[in-house]
Amino acid sequence: MKLMLIVPPNTLEERYGSLSGIGTLYPPLGLAYLAAYAEEKGHEVKVIDSEAEGYGYEDINKIAKKFEPDLVGMSTYCTTLNKAYRVAENLKKIIDVKVVLGGAQATLEPEKTLSNKNIDFVIYGEGEKSLGELMEVLNGDVKEFSKVKGLVYKNSKGEIKVNKKRELIKDLDEIPLPARHHFPMNLYHSSANLRGKRTLNIMTSRGCPYQCTYCAGSLIFGTNFRFVSTDKVIEEIKQMRDEYKIDSIQFYDETFTVNRKRVIELCDKMIKDKLNLTWSCFTRVNLVDKELLKKMKDAGCYLIFYGFESGVQRLLNMINKGITLEQSLKAVKMTHEVGIETWGSFILGLPSETKEETKETIEFALKLNPTFIQFPIAIPFPGTKMHEQALQHGKLKEDWDNFTAWDEVVYVTKGRSEKELKEAVKNAYKKFYLRPSYIINRMKSIYKLPIKNSFALAKAAFLTFIK
C-alpha cells in the first residue's frame, strides 16, 4: 500500500504566537516512527511536513495527486484538528483515499474526532501496531476493522465503533529507528540552539508514572515507564551525528531521569564512545541529585528543562505535581553548582488560582532564578483532569484553534479576567528578564556558554509583553 503522512499547514506564528521567533521546529517523531514501521512492513511511504516546508493546502493536493496514496494519516492536537479536517476534505475531492487521524486529540476524544464526515478512521494510543494492522485489513479482501485494537471506525450503517484499547509496546527496541530520511531535515531547529551548531531531537522512552492534571502524555503512552536500550540509543545518536552533522541533541523524553540507573548507564556509554555532543533534557526536580547531575554534565548535558509550574504549594497539590517548593529550590541550586543551565516553566492562570497566588508564583520564580524562564497560560486540554477542574472553577472557550499557551487566553478562573491575566504574564516576563542582575549575568556568560541565543527569549519577551 501507499501511505502518505501529513503535517497539516501551520506556522510558528500560529503555534507560538508572538514568541515565534524563538519557537522550536523539530521533525515530528511520532510520524517518523509510523513511517519507519510502515516501511518495515513493506509499504511505500511519503511524508509532507507542511509546517517545515511552508506548504499550503493546494501544495498538499498537488503532491497527493501525483503520489496517489491509498491511505493518508495525520497526527493532530487540538489546534491543528480543523486544519486536518480541511486537508481531508480537499483530498477526498481529488483522489479516492481513506484518511486516519491519530495523536493527542484523537486519543483524548476519539469518537468526537471521527464524527467529521471526511475522516474514515481514528487511532488512539500508541499508533505503530494499530496503523500496521489497519493497512493489512485495508489491503485484504475482508475488511474486518473490528479486530484492529486501538481503532475507531464507522460501520456499514455509519455508526461509530470503538475497538478495544491496544496494549502498550513493552519492548521499544521492536520499533525501527525513526525514518528521518523522509523529512526535510535541513529545515528544523531548536529554540535553544547552540552557537553555530545544529540540534535535533530524540525520544528514548515512553510513559510517565506521574499524573499531573494538565498533561495528556500518560493518556497516550501510559504510566508505565518503558525505555529504548542503551545500545540502540547510542546507535540512533551516531546515525543522527553522521547523517545530519549534528553537534547537539535534545532528549524529548517526558521525564528523562525517571530511571536513574539507566541515565547513568547511558551517560557512561556516551562518554566511553566519545560522542562529544552537548545535550538537553526534560525532567522533574524530585528526580535529580548532585551525583547524577555531575554525571550528566560530564556526558555533555548543558541545559535541563524543569516544570516548576507554580510557586504556591496549594496549587502544586491541586494539579497533582507531586513536588514541593523546597525541592525546586534545591534542584536549581544543585544544577547550577555542577555547571548546567536551567530552563523553568511556570503555568499562570491555573484553575482556582487567585490574583495574589499569581503574584506569589512570580516572586518564587525570581527567588528560584533559573537561567531562562517561560510563563505559559494554563490550557485545560479536553480529556485531561485539568479540563474538569477548569469547568468547575471558571469559563473555558471551545475554539480549539486558539489553544496556544503563548498569546491566547482560553480559560479564565472565577474572579479573574482575561485582561488581568495577560497583564500578569507581561509583568512576570518584565520582572524576570529586566532585572539588572540578570542582564549583567547574561552579559558575563554569553561568551562562555555554548548557547547561541542567550538573549533570544529575553528579547522576545520584551518585544511581546513589555513594549
**pLDDT tens readout for residues 387-429:** 999 999 998 887 766 666 566 788 999 999 999 999 999 999 9
In the chain, the percentage of residues whose pLDDT exceeds 70 is 89
**Which range has highest mean pLDDT (15-24, 84-93, 136-145)?**
84-93
Question: Chain-wide mean pLDDT for the chain?
Answer: 90
pLDDT (average), residues 177-192: 89
pLDDT (average), residues 52-69: 97
Confidence at residue 219, expressed as pLDDT on a 0 to 100 scale:
78
Confidence at residue 218, expressed as pLDDT on a 0 to 100 scale:
79
Confidence at residue 194, expressed as pLDDT on a 0 to 100 scale:
45
163 confidence band (pLDDT: 50, 70, 90): very high
3 confidence band (pLDDT: 50, 70, 90): very high
Residue scoring higher pLDDT (333 or 24): 333
Number of H helices, E strands in the chain: 19, 17
CA distance 60 to 6: 8
Please report, to the nearest 10 degrees, the dihedral formed by the alpha carbons of residues 144, 145, 148, 151 taken in order.
180
Q: How many CB atoms lie within 10 A of CB 100?
A: 27
Q: Are 407 and 12 in contact (CB under 8 A)?
A: no
Sheet of strand 160-162, all strands in order from the earlier edge strand to the far edge: 44-49, 2-7, 71-75, 98-102, 121-123, 151-154, 160-162
* H or E element, residue 202: strand 199-202
Confidence at residue 407, expressed as pLDDT on a 0 to 100 scale:
65
E strand residue ranges, 71-120: 71-75, 98-102
Question: CA distances (Å), 183 to each of 48, 188, 221, 307, in order?
Answer: 8, 9, 24, 30
Confidence at residue 446, expressed as pLDDT on a 0 to 100 scale:
59
pTM: 0.92
pLDDT in tens, 18-44: 555 566 789 999 999 999 999 999 999
pLDDT at 83 over 90: yes
Confidence at residue 456, expressed as pLDDT on a 0 to 100 scale:
56
CATH superfamily of 2-154: Cobalamin-binding domain (3.40.50.280)
Q: Are 50 and 7 in contact (CB under 8 A)?
A: yes
**Domain boundaries along the sequence of the chain:** 2-154, 189-466
Confidence at residue 459, expressed as pLDDT on a 0 to 100 scale:
59
CA distance 404 to 344: 18
Confidence at residue 382, expressed as pLDDT on a 0 to 100 scale:
80
What is the 3 state secondary structure string of 350-384? CCCCCHHHHHHHHHHHHHHCCCEEECCECCCCCCC
CA distance 344 to 208: 19
Closest Cα partner for 305 from 330, 276, 332? 332
pLDDT at 461 over 70: no
pLDDT (average), residues 167-179: 97
> Please, which residues have CB within 8 angstroms of residue 238's CB and are 6 or more apart in sequence?
273, 275
**Which range has highest mean pLDDT (18-32, 208-222, 313-327, 440-454)?**
313-327
CA distance 107 to 346: 26
15 confidence band (pLDDT: 50, 70, 90): low
* H or E element, residue 442: helix 436-445
pLDDT at 380 over 60: yes
pLDDT at 253 over 80: yes
- CATH number for the domain running over 189-466: 3.20.20.70
